[in-house]
Amino acid sequence: MDLDHGFLHSVESGGAVDGPGMRFVFFMAGCQFRCVYCHNPDTWKLHNGRRVDVDAMLAEVRPYAGFLKFAGGVTFSGGEPMMQAGFVGNVMRHIKQEMGLHIALDTQGYLHTGVEDDWFDNVDLVMLDIKHIDPEKYHAITAQYLQPTLDFAERLKRLRKKMWMRYVLVPDLTDDTDDVNRMADFVATLGDIVERVEVLPFHQMGVSKWDALKMEYTLRDTRTPTNEEAEAARDIFRARGLVAS
């Protein structure tokens, strides 16, 4: 693993939906998933990002550190940040040591076996995206396998690492009541490490990126769930004693 250099797709200095408070968000390049509803397909290829070193990453966030110390923190998203685990881990360590900021990791967890437990020492919160609870449907959505992500959730439980679980609600794909109930049953087994469940209604905001990349977007005619449908899904999680938003 390259500890000193990585590929950064973009940054956002005022992210409000990427963890608690206001966040400085690093969108890392590279992802081995091919989710059919991905709204950032331009991050899939590693070399779609610009090559940066640790100093460049620190220089991006340093001007905001004083504000972020009290208002939120830093989030590593993507893409999939664990595709560049060595580099991201090194940057996280420097941010924590120099600036003392809250650090969140937005991940699907598939690559977690590539790092040791101490890699997570500087991570204050994991935002875990579990696409589906059914292995076949999960594979149809992502082109990858479910079990490594479930194993990662169990690892977070063992490490006592705080977690927000994220679930994208897609009509006729992830909204089956039995499937949501099974997902809620699993998340409930993780116990009090789960601070909240975020049910995220599907939207069409990424379709222009698919078009620009000349990629086939199969969900073009899929609607956004209603507020009532989203609340019904949240109620399923709440019925297990989980906080859902």
User: What are 117-127's pLDDT values in tens digits?
Assistant: 999 999 999 99
Residue type at 18 in one-letter notation: D
Structure-token pair, residue 233: 């899904």
Total domains in the chain come to 1
DSSP 69: H
Q: What is the pLDDT of residues 70-94, one digit of tens each?
A: 999 999 999 999 999 999 999 999 9
Structural domain contains residue 46: yes
Paired sense of beta strands 194-201 and 125-129, if any: unpaired
| Structure tokens that stand for 173 in this block | 């794909």
Let me know if residue 244 belongs to a domain: no
- At 223 the pLDDT is 95
pLDDT above 90: residue 148: yes
Q: Is a pLDDT exceeding 70 seen at residue 184?
A: yes
Q: Is residue 243 part of a domain?
A: no
CATH number for position 109: 3.20.20.70
Contact 112, 152 (CB under 8 A): yes
pLDDT tens for residues 28-37? Answer: 999 999 999 9
Residue with tokens 């991940």: 107
pLDDT digits (tens, 9 = 90+) for 161-181: 999 999 999 999 999 999 999
- 1: pLDDT strictly greater than 70: no
Closest CA to 164 of 121, 195, 201, 123: 195
Q: Are 36 and 219 in contact (CB under 8 A)?
A: yes
Q: Is residue 103 part of a domain?
A: yes
Domain of residue 158, residue span: 5-238
